[in-house]
Amino acid sequence: MRAVRFHSYGTPDVLVVEDAPEPHAGGGSVRIRVHATSVNPIDVLLRAGHLVQFLPLPLPAIPGRDAVGIVDEVGPDVTDTQVGDVVFGLGGISDTTAEFAVLTAWSSVPPGWSTAEAAAAGLASATAAGALEALGDLDGRTLLIEGASGAVGSAAAAFALAAGATVIGTGRESNHPYLEALGVLPTVYGPGLAERVGILAPRGVDAALHSAPSSSLPDLLGIVGDPSRVVTVIDDQGAARLGLRKIDARNDSTLLRYAAALGQEGLYTPRVDHELSLVDIVTAHTLAEEGSGKVVITQP
Ligand SMILES: NC(=O)c1ccc[n+]([C@@H]2O[C@H](COP(=O)([O-])OP(=O)(O)OC[C@H]3O[C@@H](n4cnc5c(N)ncnc54)[C@H](OP(=O)(O)O)[C@@H]3O)[C@@H](O)[C@H]2O)c1
């Protein structure tokens, strides 16, 4: 099959399109003919070799953690989908930027989403839903999201708003119209956050989600005042130091079905900023590395 692979860790130009062995569905998994994948920050970190001590990949490796496509093999014990269904979801740590990919968690695609939106939904929505689960009932509460303009943060904002929360979210100023359109009260990140949030939420903030590559975890805890109501999806060391929870994405179909159900109701549309073809994989990873927004890679 045609796949993107890298034979050594390094800059985006280590990525090549070439032939690779086809994977097959094992127990509890499905194989899809991939229509599109998206680039997540972890794909960039893995390709660059920054996680090699914790998550070494057998090389050559295929990047990509999430994908959308049509099911063409169903593994033993799988009863909730069949050959011909279009699903989005999560592979393992890598392996989805290819003609075929094996998914271990999936959901059907809601009718309102484009292929690119479904490709962008997997890891972002599973991470956001898992993180909000840890914060408990948000109905009538005020939630602060650091990184609300990103893929995870915007999914979390949509889910929290659907749950009845008021959401304050940080993002660069050019993303504020996007945040306002979601229903989020926007502010910029960086120094002075507590003062800005205090003006937006004079009665206080009940919970916070840290979903941006920033060192603001102590500020978020200062604003909320209770470590049990602050979670991060990024900062392991900060979480340990401050006695709060770091949440990692679970390959859990329940979380994806929840995201899809909100998609069906028009309450969640995954963020997509760039759509590129598989042959533009080097540009795709370069854009993702620069933090230029969510990149989707479509199969020709
Ligand atoms: N633990 C897990 O399982 C897990 C899973 C998925 C993702 N993550 C992590 O979660 C983070 C977000 O992922 P994503 O896919 O949402 O990435 P993304 O789409 O690139 O979003 C990044 C967000 O961070 C904001 N940001 C960038 N620089 C910032 C800074 N210096 N201070 C404050 N905010 C800043 C961006 O705001 P602007 O664009 O408006 O500047 C944007 O809202 C990444 O670090 C990723 O590694 C963890």
Distances in whole angstroms, Cα of residue 81 to Cα of each of 78, 114, 160: 7, 20, 29
Closest C-alpha among 46, 273, 247 to residue 171: 273
149 lines ligand 1 (CB under 6 A): yes
Q: Is the dihedral of CA 198, 200, 201, 207 positive or negative?
A: negative
Give residues with Cβ within 8 angstroms of 226, minimum separation 6.
none
pTM: 0.98
Directed axis angle between helix 217-224 and helix 193-200, to 10°? Answer: 40
**Burial call 253-282: b when 16+ CB within 10 Å, e when fewer:** bebbbbbbebbeeebbbbbbebbbebebbb
Three-state secondary structure call for residue 2: strand
Task: Report the atom number in ligand 1 closest to the C-alpha of 127.
Answer: 5
What is the rounded distance in angstroms from the CA atom of residue 131 to the CA atom of residue 136? 9
DSSP 274-298: EEEEGGGHHHHHHHHHHT-S-EEEE
Distances in whole angstroms, Cα of residue 178 to Cα of each of 70, 100, 114, 169, 290: 31, 34, 18, 11, 20
Closest C-alpha among 45, 125, 126 to residue 288: 45
In the predicted structure, residue 256 carries a pLDDT above the cut 80: yes
Domain 125-246 has CATH 3.20.20.100: no
Residue identifier of the C-alpha nearest atom 47 of ligand 1: 41
> Where, residue-wise, is CATH 3.40.50.720 in the chain?
125-246
> Where, residue-wise, is CATH 3.90.180.10 in the chain?
2-120+272-298
pLDDT in tens, 198-236: 999 999 999 999 999 999 999 999 999 999 999 999 999
- If you average pLDDT over residues 147-162, what whole number do you get? 98
Q: How far, in Å, is the centroid of ligand 1 from the Cα of 150?
A: 6
pLDDT in tens, 84-139: 999 999 999 999 999 999 999 999 999 999 999 999 999 999 999 999 999 999 99
Q: What is the pLDDT of residue 300?
A: 74
Task: Report the atom number in ligand 1 closest to the C-alpha of 214.
Answer: 32
Q: How far, in Å, is the centroid of ligand 1 from the Cα of 22?
A: 32
Give residues with Cβ within 8 angstroms of 236, minimum separation 6.
246
Closest C-alpha among 117, 131, 147, 162 to residue 269: 117
Instruction: Name the CATH superfamily for 2-120+272-298.
Output: Medium-chain alcohol dehydrogenases, catalytic domain (3.90.180.10)
What is the rounded distance in angstroms from the CA atom of residue 38 to the CA atom of residue 152? 13
pLDDT in tens, 45-70: 999 999 999 999 999 999 999 999 99
Q: What is the pLDDT of residue 79?
A: 93
pLDDT in tens, 39-50: 999 999 999 999
270 lines ligand 1 (CB under 6 A): no
Q: Are 2 and 99 in contact, with CB atoms under 8 Å apart?
A: yes
What is the rounded distance in angstroms from the CA atom of residue 270 to the CA atom of residue 182? 11
Q: Are 85 and 70 in contact, with CB atoms under 8 Å apart?
A: yes
Tokens 């991060």 locate to 232
